[in-house]
Structure 1
Amino acid sequence: MNTLLWVLVGLLAYSFAAFFLRRRGLLPSSVRVQGPFTTIHTKRGRDLIDWIATPKRFWRAWSNIGVGAALVIMFGMFFFLLAQGILILRNPPAPSAVNQPQNFLVIPGVNDFLPLSVAPEIIFGLLVGLVVHEGGHGILCRVEDIDIESMGVFLFTVLPLGAFVEPDEESQRNADRGGRTRMFAAGVTNNFAVTIVAFALLFGPVIASIGVAPGMAVAGAYDGSPAAAGGISQGDRITAVAGTPVSNESSLDSALLNSDARSIQVELNGGESAADRETRTVTVERSLVVAGTVAGNPANLSLGGEPIRVQAVNGTPVYTQRGFSEAVGQDRFAELTTSRGTVTIPVGAYVTSVAANGPVADAGVPDAPFVVTAVNGTRVTSSTELGNVLDDIQPGQTVSVEVYKGGSFETYDVTLGENPRDGGGFLGVNLFGTSGLLLTDFGVQSYPAGTYVSLLGGDGGPDAASLSGGIADSPLGAVYVSLILPLASLVLGIPNFPGFTQNVYNFYAVSGPFGFLGTGVFLLANVCFWTAWINLQLGMFNCIPGYPLDGGRILRTSAEAVVARLPVEEPYPLVRTITTSVGVTMLLSLLVLIFGPTVLGG
């Protein structure tokens, strides 16, 4: 039996046992069970809430600010969800990881972007969000003289999911509209306040305590690559190659290109834990392997089975990328001898897509895919070489670009744009290796440790800062970046950021205001990150103007206030029509947003 089946059996057993105990009258009246969900009600704690609610003037002013923010966000959420729903119905997107239904759930391990490795921090942030949300409702109940029927905790079997406050219905109905509106808005107000505090800590003293350790952080080694065979793995930092210091991926590439030795010494820092982390030197026997492919590449190669090794080019044995380029020379075609056979292909930087209205598109270059073989007469055999050539050309200059497509070569005059990452020349294309093959004589994948620190407002080094540009230079920009970091692979083109998990501790150095915490600063950073992230999500979601969310309740009191000023004999039916229409629209929009891509785009 697999794990999921055991979980289902356990839930059924729990539900049956709870139903049996309830029917027998063996459960106390304070415990209510609905399937696997349990609520425990209590009247205790009301004195504490009464005491917290004592400065009524402060809490009313606080909630008035929240009401204004909630109304603005309500209107924004209404138009956003409606527009997204219409867009999906008109032009259904293809199903992808980001629009899968399970990825709308804030459940680590179920949501593909919320890993189990940070489940404790995510659950903590969720509990904080639920407690402050319901606590806000409870405090404003007492401020507005609304009685509290009960309070308690909400459980999934025996696992706490949150807290709740249950107002007395008659007392709530007797309260004035302004008081009820403030009470409904108090929860999201507190969620936004927690978000601000958590982000302020993260962007301030916490991230200032996290620096980037020297060397290139290794996210992993390709299967069958020379690096994997040499014992280099995830968590290592490469600090030197063939005696040349390495500080980042660019310096590693330069060190490898500057050496034509087949056997090289690599200095590493790594280990399973901080206790056994040490500097060591390994020997890597370089060989040219195919680490990735694009469908339909000219060599018609695809990964699977044994690693693909490039053994010779035009009859010359090759072991390195430098040797590959030298063997190709100025030839536009090359005969590759591989472990899968021999094939003749055009050699150059492979373009997989062209940006609309970009420099290449404006020059009339045909649609991708195609191969770029030369720029201003300079031969290029890979996307790396093309990038190096463009880095030396100023934006705005017009260059000749030689392209191979459909069996012939054509040359186009292209006026370069500015590369947003490093300020060099920019073609406006997406590239993939050499002729659709990702060739490597080493085979490691870098981890963007400095980029993450830079995007969160810290000092990640000049190379890392170039990716963020001006995005995170303002508080709102920093918040936006933090919200998309768990989806970074889709938005920023870097791996998704789960937080500072234990397997990346070696990539960072601790100092600054919280340096005394040691590795505990990483836990603090994760707690701040996920608490802010989840509280902002909770606040935004609850502002959707649909019942039973807070936004739907605020919509009702707002509609009552407006309709009461209209010359209408029976205002209640009109209020009900408004709230029901908006609520149904929001429900349908949410359903389309969650399930539309899967159902309509499949």
Structure 2
Amino acid sequence: MDNLIWVELFVGFIIWWTAVTILNKAGVLKRYNITAYGPLIMWRTYRGQKFLDMLASPAKFWKALITICMPLVIISMVLMLLMVLLTSVIMIFSTPVPSQVNAPQNILAIPGVNEFIPFIWGWLALIVGMVVHEFGHAIMAKAEKIKVKSLGLLLIPVPLGAFAEIDEEEMFGTKSESGTAEILGPMDTKAEGTGNRKASSMALIRILSAGVISNILIAIIAFALLFGPVLGAIAATNTEMVVLNVAPGSAADVAGIHKNTIIKSVDGTEVTTPDQLNSYLKSKQGSTVTVEGMSGDKLISYTMNVGDTRGIYILGVIPGLPAEKAGISSNDRLLSINGTAINSYADYNEYMKNTVPGQVLTLGMIDGQGNPVERTITLSSGVEPKGYMGFTGTDLSDNPLGIMVGTFNAQNHIEMLRGLPAPTGDSLGQKAMSMITGFFIIWIMPVWEVTGGMTGFNVFQSDLASLYYPVGWAEPLGGGILYIALALFWIGWLNINLAIFNCLPMIPLDGGHLFREMARKGLSYIIRDTARVDQISKTVVNIFSVVLISSLVFVMVAPYIVHGL
């Protein structure tokens, strides 16, 4: 599937490049203020100057705001630098196997390509982030009396970014002389007071910082609204029985039951716990049962036959681990281990407690076609110091229909979300640490949700959304309050990630230009020779750029170099 996605992307890219080339040669793009650089196009608009002037009119306010927020940029730059370098070092000594988490497409924050970022909410948030970022640069440039030539977008074919075309000679003292420099900005700049540079050192630093700070401020506003009035206006029902996993091709799967289906009753009898449901179904071997519940906001009823109820049902296996290597697959049933009967997941767990990595076991099983088989498996090591077969927490079930059922407490979930960034504890240190932990969880939440580690905001667009309802001021909005919550989460999340990524001290990012100017300013107090200061600052930022770009590429390709595709 991953290979197919890359083939589709490659074909789409070739079609795009061909179309751009044809339209550019025909002069069509030029008529619409579009410039092409290979497959990349730059669309400009010269409108909106009066609007920018109006926004920038309280110049003293903008200068003071950006100056006050400058430490956020410096802290973000240092943290991102350390994180990238530390990740590279970890990759060298402990390279992870290729996985969903470190797949190249999931390192790029492109909605629809990145599996962790939803298409609609991701693009909404990304567009907001790009517009806010570039308007931050443009407004600050106007406030510093630096000319803004145009605003525009970079596309290839998805938007790579928005841009404010600030007069480079007034800002940096140099002018782009090539297509690459026009896109990335000047690789070399003049010192304050030299060439045609009009911007003072502090003015340039504020202009470069304005985009990042704008993203941070929008993220703070989005999260303040989300974790305040919005989540405060969402209530939830009590605990419900929810399908956590379904074996492909199982009786439940064929009938139409899927993940997040809510189960209310079986054969007209209410069921409230997984044990109650599983016990009832095991007593119905060979019989037909009807399962009732909800899928989203719709009532559902599925009738199916209960097959063999012996042992435990295998819903899936982790590729490449011992269970798959031993020939075990979905819809198999595990009856015994080394002659010891396994009648429930509790029996399996108890037996595995006394195993060790490398131990060879003989498994008595029934395969998906109902045939009795034996499998020999050599255990690997897992998180715990016992043997590991290669199943996730939802791959083994006592349910004979081929599903894993658990309880989902929507009330606890909404309370958990509300409390994520809230300070808890007695001392100031404890409160600060709880807030840092909360925001770290928010930061990794998209990855954690997709990989099954937690339930976050995506539940609001799943079949479990029917468990939530608006209260108070949000009642007239109905289910729309959930969409507002999703929009605010992704706007906040993507803006903060755009901000900290742009802080990396490497050209052509804002952090690279900012680091170069700060290095130049700092060195000027020590070295009086302007030319030497320029050369040293240029060399330092170039070294940082090469190291960081190499580190980012290494992080993406290392798992595949070490472990293969």
Distance 1:492 1:342, change over 3 A: closer
Q: Trace 1:175-194 onto structure 2 (pairs within 5 A).
A: 175-194=199-218
- 1:161-190: CA deviation from partner (whole Å, max 9, x where unpaired): 543111112221221111110110000101
Q: Give the equivalent residue in structure 2 for 1:257.
A: 279
For residue 269 of structure 1, give the secondary structure of its aligned residue in structure 2. Answer: strand
Corresponding residue number in structure 2 for 1:236: 261
Write the mapping of 1:88-107 to structure 2, written as runs, cut at 5 A: 88-107=91-110
Structure 2 CA distance, aligned partners of 1:526 and 1:543?
A: 26
How far is 1:533 from its partner?
1.3
Is 1:223 the counterpart of 2:271? The answer is no
Q: Which residue in 2 is equivalent to 1:368?
A: 386
Is 1:566 aligned with 2:522? no
Q: Which residue of 1 aligns with 2:168?
A: 169
Tell me, what secondary structure is at the counterpart of 1:7?
helix
Please tell me whether residue 87 in structure 1 is matched to residue 105 in structure 2. Answer: no
Match of 2:231 among 195, 207, 216: 207
Q: Which residue in the other structure is 2:399 paired with? A: 440
Map of 1:422-501 to 2, 5 A cutoff? 439-446=398-405, 450=410, 453-457=414-418, 474-488=434-448, 493-494=453-454, 498=458, 500-501=460-461
Q: Does 1:18 align with 2:26?
A: no
**Which of 587, 593, 597 in structure 1 is aligned with 2:549?**
587
Tell me the amino acid that sits aligned with residue 285 of structure 1.
Answer: V
Is 1:139 the counterpart of 2:164? The answer is no
Task: Check 1:471–1:292 CA distance in 2 against 1; reply closer, same or farther (3 A cut).
Answer: farther
Q: 2:382 aligns with which of 353, 357, 380?
A: 353
Contact 2:34 2:44 in 1 (8 A): yes
Aligned mates of 2:11, 2:541 — CA distance in 1:
42
Q: Distance in 1 between matches of 2:527 and 2:444?
A: 48
Structure 1 segments of 4+ aligned residues over 6 angstroms from their partners: 310-315, 322-325, 332-335, 430-434, 470-473
- For the 8 Å contact 2:282–2:399, the answer to whether it is kept is no
Distance (Å, rounded) in 2 between the aligned partners of 1:345 and 1:93: 27
Q: Identify if the C-alpha distance between structure 1 residues 453 and 354 changes in structure 2 by more than 3 Å, giving closer, same or farther.
A: same
What is the deviation of 1:110?
2.0
Among candidates 188, 195, 208, match of residue 219 of structure 2: 195
User: Is the 2:129–2:494 contact (alpha carbons within 8 Å) kept by the matching residues of 1?
Assistant: yes
Structure 2 contact 326–376 (Cα < 8 Å) conserved: no
Q: What 5-or-longer segments of structure 1 have no aligned partner?
A: 356-366, 372-429, 460-469
Of 495, 498, 501, 1:538 maps to 498
Q: Does the 8 Å contact 1:210/1:512 carry over to 2?
A: no
CA drift of 1:485 comes to 1.8
Contact 1:352 1:368 in 2 (8 A): yes
Greater strand percent: which structure? 1
1:253-310 CA distance string (max 9 Å, x none): 2443377521586653325x64xx2265756635334334575469955016xx3357
Letter in 2 for 1:19: N
TM-score (structure 2 length as normaliser): 0.75
3-state SS of the aligned residue for 1:584?
helix
| In structure 2, distance between residues paired with 1:298 and 1:528 | 41
Distance change (3 Å), C-alpha of 1:582 and 1:518: same
Amino acid aligned to 1:592: F
Distance 1:544 1:204 in 2: 31
Cα deviation code 1:312-331 (max 9, x no counterpart) = 9999x99x849999xx9xxx
Matched residue, 1:285: 306
Aligned 8 A contact 2:292 2:301 in 1: yes
Q: Which residue pairs with 1:596 in the alignment?
A: 558
Change (3 A) 1:89 1:5: closer
Q: d(CA) in 1 for partners of 2:302 and 2:119? A: 36
CA distance in 1, matches of 2:542, 2:109: 27
Deviation at 1:238, TM superposition (A): 1.0
Q: Separation in 2 of the partners of 1:28 and 1:211?
A: 54
With 140-149 and 490-499 compared, the bigger mean Cα shift is at 490-499
User: SS of the counterpart of 1:223?
Assistant: coil
Establish whether residue 341 from structure 1 lines up as the match of residue 372 from structure 2. yes
- The percentage of counterpart residues that share the same residue type is 27
Deviation at 1:580, TM superposition (A): 1.8
Q: Pick closer, same or farther for the CA change 1:228–1:154 going to 2, 3 Å.
A: closer
Question: How many Å separate the matches in 2 of 1:340 and 1:472?
Answer: 59
2:540 paired residue number: 578
Aligned AA for 1:457? R
Residue of structure 2 equivalent to 1:54: 57
Out of 510, 517, 521, the residue aligned to residue 477 of structure 2 is 517
Deviations 1:462-504 (A, max 9, x none): xxxxxxxx99994433322222122116877347874632544
CA 1:237–1:511: 2 relative to 1, 3 Å: farther
Instruction: Tell whether 2:158 aligns with 1:153.
Output: no
Q: Retained in 1: the 8 A contact 2:278–2:398?
A: no
Q: Report if the CA contact (8 A) 1:337-1:343 is conserved.
A: yes
Deviation at 1:566, TM superposition (A): 0.5
User: What's the secondary structure of 1:457's corresponding residue?
Assistant: helix
Deviates more, 1:488-497 or 1:537-546: 488-497
Distance 2:256 2:513 in 1: 60
1:134-181 CA distance string (max 9 Å, x none)? 000011101111111222233345x65543111112221221111110
Q: Secondary structure at the match of 1:268?
A: strand
Q: Distance in 2 between matches of 1:345 and 1:601?
A: 25
Distance 2:462 2:388 in 1: 42
- The aligned length equals 499
CA gap of 1:29–1:9, structure 2 versus 1, over 3 A, is closer
Mapped partners of 2:168, 2:398: distance in 1: 69
Cα deviation, residue 445, structure 1: 3.5
Is the 1:472–1:478 contact (alpha carbons within 8 Å) kept by the matching residues of 2? Answer: no
Structure with greater helix percent: 2
Mapped partners of 1:234, 1:290: distance in 2: 16
Q: Report the alpha carbon displacement of residue 85 of structure 1 after superposing the two structures with TM.
A: 1.9
Match runs of 1:297-446 below 5 Å: 302-303=328-329, 307-309=331-333, 321=344, 336=364, 338=366, 339-341=370-372, 343=374, 353-355=382-384, 367-369=385-387, 439-446=398-405
> Shift in Å at residue 125 of structure 1?
0.4
Structure 2 unaligned spans of 5+: 172-196, 356-360, 421-429
Give the residue type in structure 2 aligned to 1:147.
K
Give the Cα–Cα distance (whole angstroms) in 1 for the partners of residues 344 and 77 of structure 2.
56
Deviation at 1:506, TM superposition (A): 3.3
SS at match of 1:152: strand
Residue 517 (structure 2) aligns with? 557
- State the Cα distance separating 1:432 from its structure 2 match: 6.8
Give me the whole-angstrom Cα distance separating, in 1, the residues matched to 2:146 and 2:67: 17
TM superposition shift of 1:572: 1.7
The equivalent of 2:426 in structure 1 is none
Cα pair distance change 1:152/1:345, threshold 3 Å: closer
In 1, the alpha carbon distance for the partners of 2:443 and 2:136 equals: 24
Conserved? CA contact 1:188–1:539, under 8 Å: yes
What is the distance in 2 between the residues matched to 1:33 and 1:113?
A: 31
* One-letter amino acid matched to 1:34: Y
* Aligned with 2:76 (options 73, 78, 83): 73
